[in-house]
Amino acid sequence: MAKSPETEHPVKAFGWAARDPSAHFSPFNFSRRATGERDVQVKVLYCGVCHSDLHMAKNEWGLTQYPIVPGHEITGIVTEVGNKVEKFKVGDKVGVGCMVGSCRECDQCTNDLENYCSNFILTYSSRYTDGTVTYGGYSDTIVADEHFVIRWPENLPLDAGAPLLCAGITTYSPLRYYGLDKPGLHIGVVGLGGLGHVAVKFAKAFGSKVTVISTSINKKKEAIERLGADSFLVSRDQEAMQAAVGTMDGIIDTVSVAHPLLPLINLLKPHSHLIMVGAAEKPLEVPMLPMIFGRKSVSGSGIGGLKETQEMVDFAAKHNIFADVEVIPMDYLNTAFERLEKSDVKYRFVIDVAKSLKTE
């Protein structure tokens, strides 16, 4: 008979889980593995609430294993290390992001691209090498192989910095990969949510002019005055969109619902990329003639490897970049999800796990 979540591992753990696609969360007793020789055990202090947590809790992608304990923007303190661990010691501040395992041998892994390994293991709702399901950071502790643990810079806040572990790397990686990290470029950022607002901050730190493209004029003041964007385009404003045709060196598109790509492709200069980091569920229409006549492309990017995630966190610390967050107690989670669905958050909820997660 299969062991229950509570008994499958030796170390008691407690968190909040959803049991079915209603995505209603409630307290959940489970267990973590003993700290293996290369493992790091972390007391979770904060965990960001990523939109993917919502998609997964509702099983929108068909990948969910219930009960699900989401959370892959985790910061905390090391409480135990395995005897072969070299990078960390007890008391260190660390982060754990979207992945906790990969094959470590394939071309992708050996090139520090663990996120593109065909056998990657996600921080939650994935099957670990011991056959058990992984549980994420809406919980009191987590145990992870040191390779997948991030050193946390001293000056980076643990609460507002937590979203960097997913939103941060998701936007940083394509800006670097597509050469959009050089000063003087004009970068478009579509969508101003968790991903979008961090993309603006990174692009500004790289020395770019940044235009936010949004469906809603309401976000303009924030975008310009608080986040430092240089300009703001309302995508429904045809005249403004027309005036901006062919002006952008690259666009990071963070929108995960279906939306027209042609107006965005037209904003690109020739030989430039529209990079999707939000993942719409259904295929989008792409008109090929403008792409052919302008040698433009649509591509995607998903998080980043561990080496790059560490580099991103260190870059963020150096440039004082962290997310704009609303810190919430664990028992606010269900309300937070309702608000997240309506994009009613500026711009990430972060659960104060250590202070608010009470075992029953």
Partner 1 sequence: MAGTENSQKSFGWAATDTSGLLFPFHFSRRENGSDDVTIKILYCGVCHSDLHSVKNEWGFTNYPIVPGHEIVGLVTKTGSDVKKFKVGDRVGVGVIVGSCKTCDICQQDLENYCPKVIFTYNSKDQDGTKTYGGYSDIIVVDQRFVLRIPDNLSSGACAPLLCAGITVYSPMKYYGMTEPGKHLGVAGLGGLGHVAVKFGKAFGLKVTVISTSPKKESEAINRLGADSFLVSSDPAQLKAAMGTMDFIIDTIAAVHPLAPLLGLLKMNGKLVTVGLPDKPLELPIFPLVLGRKLVGGSDIGGMKETQEMLDFCGKHNIIADIEMIRIDYINTAFERLAKSDVRYRFVIDVANTLASN
Does 286 interact with partner 1 (rule: CB under 8 A)? yes
CB contact at 8 A, 150 and 95? yes
Closer to partner 1 at the Cβ: 186 or 204? 186
CB contact at 8 A, 28 and 5? yes
Does 179 interact with partner 1 (rule: CB under 8 A)? no
* Angle between helix 306-318 and helix 167-177 axes, rounded to 10 deg: 100
Does 1 interact with partner 1 (rule: CB under 8 A)? no
Residues 300-319 that bind partner 1 (CB under 8 A): 300-302
Task: Please identify which residue in 79, 297, 334, 343 interacts with partner 1, judged by CB under 8 A.
Answer: 297
Does 103 interact with partner 1 (rule: CB under 8 A)? no
What is the rounded distance in angstroms from the CA atom of residue 261 to the CA atom of residue 265? 6
Does 62 interact with partner 1 (rule: CB under 8 A)? no
Residues 112-141 that bind partner 1 (CB under 8 A): 113, 116, 118
Task: Please identify which residue in 83, 86, 91, 292 interacts with partner 1, judged by CB under 8 A.
Answer: 292
Q: Which two tokens stand for residue 285?
A: 């229409």
φ and ψ at residue 354, rounded to 5 degrees: -60, -40
Closer to partner 1 at the Cβ: 34 or 262? 262
How far is residue 143 CA from its own chain's centroid?
Answer: 19
Does 72 interact with partner 1 (rule: CB under 8 A)? no
Does 289 interact with partner 1 (rule: CB under 8 A)? yes
Spatial neighbors of 296 by CB under 8 A, at least 6 apart, are 265, 268, 270, 271, 272, 273, 274, 290
Closer to partner 1 at the Cβ: 282 or 342? 282
Task: Count Cβ atoms below 10 Å from residue 283 Cβ, excluding itself.
Answer: 7
Closer to partner 1 at the Cβ: 179 or 287? 287
List of residues contacting partner 1 (CB under 8 A): 108, 113, 116, 118, 177, 261-262, 270-271, 273, 276-302
